[in-house]
Chains A and B, each alone.
Chain A
Amino acid sequence: MAIPIESLPPPGWDREGIDGLLGLFPPGRLSEIVGPRSSGGSSLLLAFIARITTSGGQVAFVDGMDALDPASAAAAGADLSALLWVKCAGRLRAALSAADLLARCPGFPLVVLDLDELGPVPVSAQIRLQRALEGSDTILIVRSARHREGSGASLVVATRRLAPRWMGLRPLTRLAGLRSEASIARSRLHPLSPQGEGRTWTIDWTL
Chain B
Amino acid sequence: MTRIACLLATNEPARPTALLQVALAHSPRVEDAGAGRVYLDASGLERLFGDEPRLAARLHEAAAAVALETRVGIAGSRIAALAAARRGAGTTIVEPGGDAGYLAPAPLSLLELSEDVAARLSRWGLRTLGELAALPTAGLFERLGGEGVRLQRLARGEDPRPLASSRPVPLFEESVDCAWGMETLEPVVERMRELAVRVCAGLSARGLAADAFEWVCRLDGGGVHDGALAPAVPMTDPVAVAGLLRLALEARPPRGIVQSLTLRARPVRVIPAQESLTDRSRPSPRLLAATLNRLVALVGADGIGAPALLDSHRPDAVALGAYHPHPHPLPLPLPLPKQPSPLRGEGIVSSTLALRRLRPPAPAAVTLASGRPVALRSSRLTGRIVAGVGPWRSSGEWWSQHPWLRDEWDVELADGTLCRLAHDGSAWHLAGIYD
Contact = CB atoms under 8 A, between A and B. Distances in A.
B347 A201 contact: yes
Q: How large is the interface on A (under 10, 10 to 19, 20 to 34, 35 or more residues)?
A: 35 or more
Nearest to B435: A42
Given A11-B334, A161-B416, A206-B351, A66 B359 contact: yes
Interface string B390-427: 00000000000000000000101000111100000000
B306 A85 contact: yes
Interface stretch (A52-60, A119-127, A149-157): A52-60
B304 A12 contact: no
A105 interface: yes
Given A12-B336, A89-B299, A175 B359 contact: no
A106 B352 contact: no
A98 B298 contact: yes
Residue from A56, A104, A206 having most chain B Cβ neighbours under 10 A: A56
Contacts of A105: 283, 287-288, 291
Interface stretch (B75-83, B152-160, B274-282): B274-282
A23 interface: no
Nearest to A201: B349
Contact of B389 (A19, A43, A101, A173): A173
A69 B309 contact: no
B64 interface: no
A202 interface: yes
Contacts of A38: 416-419, 433-435
B335 A54 contact: yes
A205 to B, nearest CB: 4
B325 A82 contact: yes
B114 interface: no
Interface in A85-121: 85-89, 94, 97-98, 101-102, 104-109, 116
Interface in A179-207: 179, 201-207
A107 B417 contact: no
Nearest to B332: A11
B47 interface: no
B204 interface: no
Contacts of B221: none
B348 interface: yes
Contacts of B330: 55-56
B322 to A, nearest CB: 10
Could you tell me the dominant secondary structure of chain A's interface residues? Answer: mixed
B306 A81 contact: yes
B354 A43 contact: yes
B351 A174 contact: no
A33 to B, nearest CB: 10
Contacts of B352: 43, 46-47, 72, 75-77, 205-207
Given A14-B337, A16-B344, A58-B282, A43 B351 contact: yes
Contacts of B389: 166, 168, 171-175
Nearest to B319: A70
B416 A72 contact: no
Interface in B271-302: 273, 279-284, 287-288, 291, 294-295, 298-299
B329 A56 contact: yes
Contacts of A109: 280
A51 B338 CA distance: 10
A50 to B, nearest CB: 8
B260 to A, nearest CB: 44
A106 to B, nearest CB: 7
Contact of A106 (B279, B287, B303, B432): B287
Nearest to B358: A67
Residue from B329, B334, B353 having most chain A Cβ neighbours under 10 A: B353
A164 interface: yes
Nearest to B320: A85
Residue from B307, B325, B433 having most chain A Cβ neighbours under 10 A: B307
Contact of B354 (A13, A46, A168): A46
A42 B303 contact: no
A37 interface: yes
A175 to B, nearest CB: 4
A24 interface: no
A17 B342 contact: yes
B317 to A, nearest CB: 8
Contacts of A94: 298-299
Interface in B369-384: none
Contacts of A12: 333-337
A72 B354 contact: yes
A28 interface: no
A55 B117 CA distance: 53
A142 B419 CA distance: 22
Nearest to B302: A87
Interface string B300-330: 0001111111000000101010011111111
B346 interface: yes
B346 A98 contact: no
26 contacts: A10-B334, A17-B342, A38-B419, A38-B435, A45-B354, A47-B351, A50-B338, A57-B280, A70-B318, A71-B318, A72-B352, A72-B355, A80-B306, A87-B299, A94-B298, A101-B298, A102-B295, A107-B283, A161-B416, A166-B387, A172-B388, A174-B410, A204-B348, A204-B351, A205-B350, A207-B352
Given A174-B410, A206-B353, 11 more contacts: A40-B353, A66-B357, A67-B432, A68-B357, A72-B352, A72-B354, A73-B307, A87-B299, A101-B294, A108-B283, A172-B387
Interface of A: 10-14, 16-19, 37-47, 50-51, 54-58, 65-77, 79-89, 94, 97-98, 101-102, 104-109, 116, 161, 164, 166, 168, 171-175, 177-179, 201-207
User: Sorted from nearest, which 8 A-B pairs have the closest CB atoms?
Assistant: A107-B283, A205-B353, A11-B333, A17-B342, A70-B307, A42-B435, A56-B328, A175-B410
